[in-house]
Amino acid sequence: MASSRVISETGEWICPKCGSSAGQYRCANCGFRIYAGFFIRLLCQAIDGSAIWVVSQILQLPMFRSYFFFIFTNAASFFFFRLYFMVLTGLWGQTPGKMLTKIRVIRLDGYEVRWSNAILRNIFETFLVLIMFWGYGMALAHTSPHDFNLLSAPEREEFLGKFMPDFVGYCLLARYAYAFSEFFVLLFNKKKRAIHDFIAGTVIIRDPRMPFLPWRRDSSKP
């Protein structure tokens, strides 16, 4: 992974719009703001959210078909969602939503992200999902794979609804609350950092010069 510096620790950077050297939050020459704010982040979230929603709908179709399918679809959606954010951020500092909106995640010290930043940025969601899996395990412990498979699909759904511990629902609520909190928290600091940016030591910047495909980036330039 390239480790070129994008902005300096004091917040100095070359304005991607006009090329003059800029400092802190905006370019004095053309007014370009380096830190990605509310609306562009919302658009980015809508794009990534839609991509994930489509995949989750496909994965959920066979969920109640059998014991195996229930475990497989839940595990597959966990890996897909977390790898989507973790791996793409670790590789390029960008998810497809960020590629389309031309924003990227960098470290607070101005360098490109490392894997540790990408993992920390997703650590809270990962933790919640692992707790939810534990809840699924507690519900499934009330039956055997054989007995579960004897039920009809609606009965399987009903069975899981009956034995699923309450904390699974609270974890789901916490995931939504966490996702929404991002948009409120970024309004209250000048670098527009959300909670996961504070956890991971990252910040999101705008860079309209970036090619749509991140592997086409010229790594000799910031």
Contacting residues toward Zn ion, per CB under 5 A: 15, 17-18, 27, 29-30, 32
Query: What is the smallest separation between the CB atom of 35 and Zn ion, expressed in angstroms?
Result: 14
Query: What is the smallest separation between the CB atom of 202 and Zn ion, expressed in angstroms?
Result: 23
Q: Are 63 and 175 in contact (CB under 8 A)?
A: no
Tell me the three state secondary structure of residue 74: helix
AA letter at 158: E
Q: Are 210 and 102 in contact (CB under 8 A)?
A: yes
Query: What is the smallest separation between the CB atom of 113 and Zn ion, expressed in angstroms?
Result: 24
Query: What is the smallest separation between the CB atom of 26 and Zn ion, expressed in angstroms?
Result: 8
Q: Which is nearer to Zn ion, 156 or 206 (CB)?
A: 206
Q: Which is nearer to Zn ion, 5 or 33 (CB)?
A: 33
Q: Which is nearer to Zn ion, 30 or 150 (CB)?
A: 30
The total number of residues shown for the chain amounts to 222
Q: Which is nearer to Zn ion, 15 or 120 (CB)?
A: 15
Number of Cβ atoms within 10 Å of the Cβ of 99: 19
Exposure string for 22-49, b = 16+ CB within 10 A, e = fewer: beeeebeeeebebbbeeebbeebbebbe
| Torsion of the alpha carbons at 103, 104, 107 and 112, rounded to the nearest 10 | -140
Query: What is the smallest separation between the CB atom of 161 and Zn ion, expressed in angstroms?
Result: 56
Q: Which is nearer to Zn ion, 19 or 169 (CB)?
A: 19
